[in-house]
Amino acid sequence: MSLFKFQSYDLVVCGAGPAGLMAACTFARQTGGARRVLLLDKKAPWKEPIFCAEAVSENRLGKLWPIDRSWVRGRISGIYFTSPSHYRAEFYSKNCGLILDRSGFHHALADGCAEAGVECCFDALVKSLSRNGDGSWDICVKGPDGAPVSVTAKTVIDATGPGARITRGIECLEGIESGDTDLEPAVFAVAEGIEHSAEHIELFFGSEFQDGYGWIFPRDGVEVNIGFVLGKSALPGTSLREKLKSFIAERYPQAKIKAIYGGMIACGQSQRPMALCGLFKAGDAASCVNPISRSGIVESMLCGKIVAQSVAEWLDAGTPDARQKVEREVLDHWMKELGNAHLQIARAKPGFNAIKDSQFDRAAKSLSKLPREKQTLFRIFFAVLWACPSLIWKMRSFLK
């Protein structure tokens, strides 16, 4: 029996993370069963571990997918901003965020895909793509028994995450976004024995994070996710695992590390094409992570949704010119929704990275003296600017 129901599809989505799941589901719902769509991943999207701290804005996620308590670990009502000398500013806003159980969340999205008519195959490693003479795509997959299987598609969405290996070296895709804009390394541990607030995330700033930041995200009141992302300029040869272990040992000597995981985050916004020749990029494969917060779950879902709508338009377009127009417009659409904001943030990032430890300390110290209700995000932002006047010029992209 063949791995797939059909030999050819209107759309094959490669990668079933938030971007691919959202793209496949959006496309199937929009086309109402009139188009064949296949979703491929090398593993079941709910299979642990998932390399993520799992924090999202409740408001932004709720606009894309109905929130279900069964896949929410907890609610977040605040953020501690901690300076190198451990001064703490606190931003408080009741129920502003969620900590997801991403495994359960992915399961819900995958169920949504199946209900909408998406054929899901979660034991299929995409090995390579090639373009046929008639403009369709051949997708070569390694199935569960290790044997290669090929399937044909009019359009493909690459949602395979950062680095986007499957589209490398394909001539007609020269210049396409490749999910490697400002690729930054991140590492975290799931640990116990760390005193923390179950309704706050804590962010650590300072030069030890080499243009990135550290974090503690609560999980279930007992365990935490503790880790950091380093800037792309992080010293070569830095062992993230060792650095994380000593960070934890110094600050939380009682902590018990249960497991350590790592991954890469594409933290910049390029303006390279997101679609060429019927192949579309979505999520981390399109470098759509917020360049400073490094959040990418909701961003990938939004990107997947936009791309899926464009694929439906592309398939309905009658001429090559009309299709090329759709391919150009997908980037415009993304830039309007979120990309332009990310571009501004990315431009301000060097200024933010230039803040000295003493300046972080000064800002956090002055904020920590204010009552909690006066520590608004606006005030926190301006306290940092005040402590570091040269930043005002560097951060002008935020101010204009």
Ligand X SMILES: Cc1cc2nc3c(=O)[nH]c(=O)nc-3n(C[C@H](O)[C@H](O)[C@H](O)COP(=O)(O)OP(=O)(O)OC[C@H]3O[C@@H](n4cnc5c(N)ncnc54)[C@H](O)[C@@H]3O)c2cc1C
Q: Which residues bind ligand X (CB under 6 A)?
A: 14-20, 40-43, 45, 51-56, 125-126, 159-161, 166, 186, 188, 263, 265, 283-285, 289, 295-297, 300
Q: Closest by alpha carbon to 312, among 20, 27, 8?
A: 27
Is residue 127 within 8 Å of residue 44, measured between CB atoms?
A: no
Query: CB-wise, 283 or 351, nearer to ligand X?
Result: 283
What's the rounded Cα separation, in Å, for the pair 242 and 247?
9
Spatial contact of 217 and 54, defined as CB atoms under 8 Å apart: yes
Nearer to ligand X, 90 or 284 (CB): 284
Q: Which is nearer to ligand X, 147 or 399 (CB)?
A: 147
Q: Are 40 and 17 in contact (CB under 8 A)?
A: no
Comparison of 83 and 160: residue with beta carbon closer to ligand X:
160
Q: Measured from the CB of residue 282, what is the shortest distance to ligand X in angstroms?
A: 7
For ligand X, the closer of residues 178 and 359 by Cβ is 178
Closer to ligand X by CB, 186 or 255: give it. Answer: 186
**Taking the complex as a whole, how short is the minimal distance between the CB of residue 65 and ligand X, in angstroms?**
13
Q: In the complex, what is the shortest distance from the CB of residue 321 to ligand X, in angstroms, rounded to a whole number?
A: 30
Strand order in the sheet with 72-82: 55-57, 88-100, 72-82, 200-204, 213-218, 224-229, 183-192, 256-266
Identify the residue whose tokens are 């464009």. Answer: 310
CB-closest chain residue to ligand X? 296
Q: What is the smallest separation between the CB atom of 299 and ligand X, expressed in angstroms?
A: 7
Please report how close the Cβ of residue 196 comes to ligand X at its closest, in angstroms.
15
Shortest reach from residue 85's CB to ligand X, in Å? 26
Nearer to ligand X, 37 or 265 (CB): 265
Question: Are the beta carbons of 75 and 59 closer than 8 angstroms?
Answer: no
Cβ at position 382, least distance to ligand X in Å: 26
